[in-house]
Each structure stands twice: as structure tokens, then as C-alpha cells.
Amino acid sequence: MIRWETDRPYAIAVGLMSGTSLDGIDAAVVRIEGSGLASRVSLLHFESRPYDDALRERLKALCDPASSDVASICGMNAYLGELFADAAAAAVREAGLSLDEIDFVSSHGQTIWHMPDAPPADPYLVRSTLQIGDLSVLAKRTGRPAVGDFRPADLAVGGQGAPLVPYGDLILFGHPAKGRILQNIGGIGNCTVLPPGAGLQDVMAFDTGPGNMVIDQTVQTLSGGKLSYDEGGAWAAQGTPDEALVSELMSHPYFRQPPPKSTGRELFGAAYASAFLARAAERGLAPADIVATATAFTAHSIADACRRFAMPHSRIDELIVSGGGAHNRTLMAMLAALLPEQAVLQAGAFGVPEDAKEAVIFALLGHAFLLGNCNNVPAATGASAPTVMGKLALP
């Protein structure tokens, strides 16, 4: 078991996050005091480095068995390690610090494939997950210890390996009197349910379904590649959702499956978006109506998850949204309309910028790993026991 200490009463770390939206690398420089659920976090600097279009398309290809290959995954693993190191170094510099002042870097990595349920027909395809962005490259390039590859430890004790953020959500947003849902809208949507006064054993969390993933692919296709996302939800605001098609989309069995559950591009990626676009074309929808329908689909999937699974579990007073979807005004308005009894808020109102939350939480997960503290949430992932998630690469 790792037992790690600094010569200060606090640690300074960089948390790195690159999610299923494949939009870039988020880097948060944080100061952490205390340990475990008593940790206190101060954000010193945050910045996001977008992937260029060519890299984004290469990553999408790696996430698709029809276009992926082992050489490309092998090379991209090291290449992303370099990019993550550059992002960490730049964030430290902009924070007015030097890398020598950083205790560790903690990275989620880039998910290429997530398979929490084993296909029954192939005994070699066991439950597993793959995040790339080599930790050794990250450690050697930054000169700091690098923590990452968190998901496999939870899978090894029977969990889904996701979601990972509930540990940090409880630290950052737990409230003695208010019930809260922390809804992140990245490529995939995931929520953490925090009852009033919740302890770790009270937390529920799961992936709600597609977040920005189907919207982004729809916008990219309809714009002929000129746009990669619907900025502010402006295009969706010009259209009218096809409610019949939304209902059809909501019939997918994933939405009825009870937690713990997790998903990704394997289920709601490019192939799913292509099928959605074909169905929309059959119905004669205009482009703005198609984008509005994709946006409404995400809103309905989140609201349905809240009503079906979260609200029976706990009193909910607030839905606090983070991730890129928090900036989509049309999506936020749809959520507020579908959940009128809850206050629909943004994480920034609580001092945690919407885009920074997950990177901050990965710094917390890395800190827990180095202290030997369990950092999974079995009630959320379905793991058989608490465990210490993460791996370490030394500089």
C-alpha cells in the first residue's frame, strides 16, 4: 500500500481530464488540504486545450472497431501522454508556479473502449476498459509522479469502473440539508445523487446516457464538418423537436436498465448518431429540427433518469449541471422545463467552474490513491468492496 506524504500540510497537484466528447484536455491546478472526505480543495488555475479536428477524428476512429487498429492505439497512447504533459506544464506555468512545486499529476486518460459487461460468446473478452495517454510519458516529461488508469481497479472488484466522480462530488457538493443531483454533461451524461447529509454509502451514481455525443455528431454532419458542436444551443433554438422521434429514441433499453450502469461511444457513438440522422431524414425533418430533436433527446434522458431512479431514492432540491452541456442554453432550458420542481443550476454558482469540475475531481482521486485511501464508491459502481483505484508512474 502506498503511503505518501509531503513536507507541507497541503499538496499541489494537476488534475487532467479528457472525456468522451473528445474535445480536448482540461487541466486544473489545485491545492488540497486534509484527506479523504475531509479534503478541502482550492482551484489555483484552470485551462482547456482543444484537440484539433484531425486529432479528434483520429480518436473517433480509434473508438470504432471498424476503423481501429493496434498500431494506431499503441502510437496514440504515447502521443497523448506527450499532449497531457504539455497541458499540465502549461497550466502550472499559467498558475505562476514551477513544476518543481507540483507534488503529482493525476490523469483520467482518454477512453477508447469501455466494456463493463462481457460479451457471453467470447471467453477472452472479459469485463474491461481502456484509457490511453501513457503515464510513464506523462511522468518523465513533467518530472512529477503521475497517477492514472483508475477504472480497472473498480472493475477488478466487480464494479462497472464508472462513474468515477461521485467521490469528488460528495467532497465538493455534499450538503447537510439539501438533496442534490450533480449532472455532468460531457460526451456521455453522468449523474451523482447526494441525499441530504449523505455519507459515501448513501451516494448513487450512474451514466444517464448520451450527453453532447449525439448532438455534436449531428451538428458536425449537418454542417459538413464546419461545426463541431452547437455553440450555446443556438442551432437547436431555431428548430422544434420531433417529440415522436424523441419518444422512439427513449425506448432504448439502456434507459430502463437500473443502476449501477455505465455507457459510452460503444452504445451511443458514431453508428448510433448515423442511425438517428437516417431516421430524422425519413421523417423529413429540417436541419434545425434535427439538432433540436437531438438536444431534446439528451434533456429527456437526463430528466427520465432523475425521475425514474434518483427521486425515488432521495428528496432532490437542486440539479447542478457541469461539463460542456452546461453552456448549451437550449439544453438547460429544456431541462428546467422538464424538471420544474427542482432548481436547475450551474456548478459555477458553487465556486467550481462547469468545465473544471472533473479535472479537479481527478486531482482528488489521485490524492486519495497516494494516501492509500479507497476512492471508488461501491454504491455507485456496483463494486463488491471499497478499493484504491489508480496506478503510479515515477519520473
Dihedral sign (CA 226, 186, 310, 255): positive
Nearest-angstrom CA–CA distance, 234 and 218: 14
Nearest-angstrom CA–CA distance, 255 and 259: 10
CATH of domain 166-350: 3.30.420.40
CB crowding 247-269: b at 16 or more within 10 Å, else e: eebbebeebeeebbbbbbbbbbb
CATH 3.30.420.40 positions along the chain are 10-162+357-393, 166-350
Q: What is the pLDDT of residue 4?
A: 67
Candidates 3.40.50.300, 3.40.50.620, 3.30.420.40, 1.10.357.10; CATH matching 10-162+357-393 = 3.30.420.40
Q: What is the pLDDT of residue 174?
A: 96
Q: What is the pLDDT of residue 134?
A: 98
Q: What is the pLDDT of residue 1?
A: 46
pTM: 0.92
Q: Which of 95, 85, 94, 96 is nearest to 148 (CA)?
A: 85
Residues of the chain short of pLDDT 70, as ranges, are 1-4
Q: What is the pLDDT of residue 334?
A: 98
Q: What is the pLDDT of residue 2?
A: 54
Residue 129 burial (CB count, 10 A): 22
User: From residue 227, how far is each of 24, 178, 283, 332 by CA, in Å?
Assistant: 15, 39, 24, 20
Residue 232 region, left (φ>0) first, then alpha (ψ -120 to 50), else beta? left
pLDDT 10s digits, 363-373 = 999 999 999 99
- Binding site members for ATP: 19-26
- Binding site members: 19-26
Q: What is the pLDDT of residue 34?
A: 95
